[in-house]
Homo-oligomer: A and B are copies of this chain.
Amino acid sequence: MKKIGIGIIGLGNIGSRFYKEIITNKREIGLKTGTNINIVGVSAKNINKKRNFKFQKKIFFKNPLDITKNPKVNIVIELIGLSDGISKKIVENALKNKKHVITANKALISKHGDYLSLLAEKNKVNLEFEASVCGGIPILRTLKDGLATNKINKVIGILNGTSNYILSEMEKSKNSFKKVLNKAQILGFAETNPQFDLDGNDVLAKIRILSALSFNNKISKSKCLMSGIENIELKDIDMANKLNLRIKLLGITEIINNKLFERVHPCLIKKDKYISNINGVMNAVILEGVPVGQSVLQGEGAGSGPTSSALLSDLLSILRGNIKYPFGISSNKRKNIKSYDKNLYSNSLYLRFEVKDKPGVLSEITKKLANFKISIERLIQIPDRKNKKASIVIITHKTNERNSTKCLQVFKKNKNIIKNPTLIRLF
């Protein structure tokens, strides 16, 4: 049995669970790979923090970079999670020192993945990051292996458990965004600072990784159509419900006329569609490819269990001795695909205006929309007489992003419109 040393850097929720899973599964991993694995180094901010497992003090490294150059270490697991700084240094140094690297760090991979994968290839070691996208769904491995040589056309996903939990729970409990977010934080479904989960950045990072694996392109740096769920109110959830629709934060990437179109935004989806029935903290990915047709994968997206499952699968892949290109093909074969001009993207929109309840306001709005040739499919007005306000919900026919953005700009100057209109794209 070949002896393999593992170094784990970061012993938070994920790192601790992974540590224990390795101990528990050591025998089975040995059976499956013919290796004798041992954790020979760990590093964390605080050696003395209370943890529900024990490790020998002699394997603790105060400076995590020391793990990356320790001759006993063959595989470095980076679980700190920064897009730059020490996380980047750890991965960089480990690869340069010919250590395999496993990371759950989507921020790092979506920003520096091209550079780091080249580094891994040069040093003939693996860089694995299955856990960076939908922990419980082996989506990267499915794209690299299970569906390899399929021509993927489109990927649609519910990729952020926090957002999906909040939207589901608002619908179920009829509680406000704020209240539900608070509950999510208590239950551990949202972080203390949930900004990246709510504003779409977390989904964008995952979508960029998925694009690279689906279309063999270098990770796109261009600005993407993105909005999060922070502006979704209970009113919108209710209205969607009445229209037999459901709001979901989707990440979508596809090739349109040989150009890459990545986007992240809430969508209004018919309730009978599969994707609108993925509720709570679940994640789901729909792949459309040739020859396979449509493939759907669903599972828990985050949490220490699903994430450990992904990390273990990366570990096994390395232990089985498969040196693989991190993105499925060699870096120099990966293409730069131009970005699709998001302004050309055309879609039906849901617009909610909060207005003063005064005569003429509605006609001001509809007139402006007409000026921009945005035609109305449906209009619903909900008065709030007590506060002399009203909500006006408009479902438009298709219009492109350039047009709708310009049009919504104009409303900013209108004093009868109390706040920026809420915009949700129809699926």
Show the binding face of A for B, using Cβ within 8 Å: 17, 21, 25, 28-29, 31-32, 130, 135-138, 141-142, 145-150, 274, 277, 289-300, 303-306, 308-309, 312-313, 315-317, 320-322, 324-325, 328-330, 333
Q: Provide the residues of chain B in CB contact with A321, threshold 8 Å.
A: 322
Q: Taking the nearest CB of chain B, how far is it from the CB of A34, in angstroms? A: 8
Known: A138-B145, A142-B142, A149-B29. A299 touches B309 (CB 8 A): no
Other-chain contact of A141, B141, B315, B328 (Cβ < 8 Å): B141
CB closest chain-B residue, reference A290: B305
Q: Is the CB of A146 within 8 A of B293?
A: no
- Count chain B CB atoms within 10 A of each CB in A21, A146, A299, A330 and give the residue with the most: A146
Known: A296-B297, A312-B149. A291 touches B28 (CB 8 A): no
7 A-B residue pairs with Cβ-Cβ distance under 8 Å, sorted by A, are A138-B145, A141-B142, A291-B309, A292-B306, A293-B300, A293-B306, A295-B298
Known: A291-B309, A293-B305, A305-B290. A149 touches B298 (CB 8 A): no
Q: Taking the nearest CB of chain B, how far is it from the CB of A315, in angstroms? A: 8
Q: Is the CB of A146 within 8 A of B150?
A: no
Q: Provide the residues of chain B in CB contact with A289, threshold 8 Å.
A: 309
Q: Taking the nearest CB of chain B, how far is it from the CB of A105, in angstroms? A: 19
- Count chain B CB atoms within 10 A of each CB in A28, A150, A328 and give the residue with the most: A150
Q: Provide the residues of chain B in CB contact with A28, threshold 8 Å.
A: 149
Q: Is the CB of A291 within 8 A of B306?
A: yes
- Beyond A148-B312, A149-B316, A292-B309, 7 additional contacts (C-beta under 8 Å) are A32-B148, A145-B317, A146-B146, A147-B309, A150-B309, A291-B305, A293-B299
Q: Provide the residues of chain B in CB contact with A146, threshold 8 Å.
A: 130, 138, 141-142, 146, 313
CB closest chain-B residue, reference A307: B291
Q: Provide the residues of chain B in CB contact with A135, threshold 8 Å.
A: 292
Bound-complex Cα distance A147 to B289 (A): 22
Q: Taking the nearest CB of chain B, how far is it from the CB of A215, in angstroms? A: 12
Known: A145-B313, A146-B313, A333-B31. A292 touches B299 (CB 8 A): yes
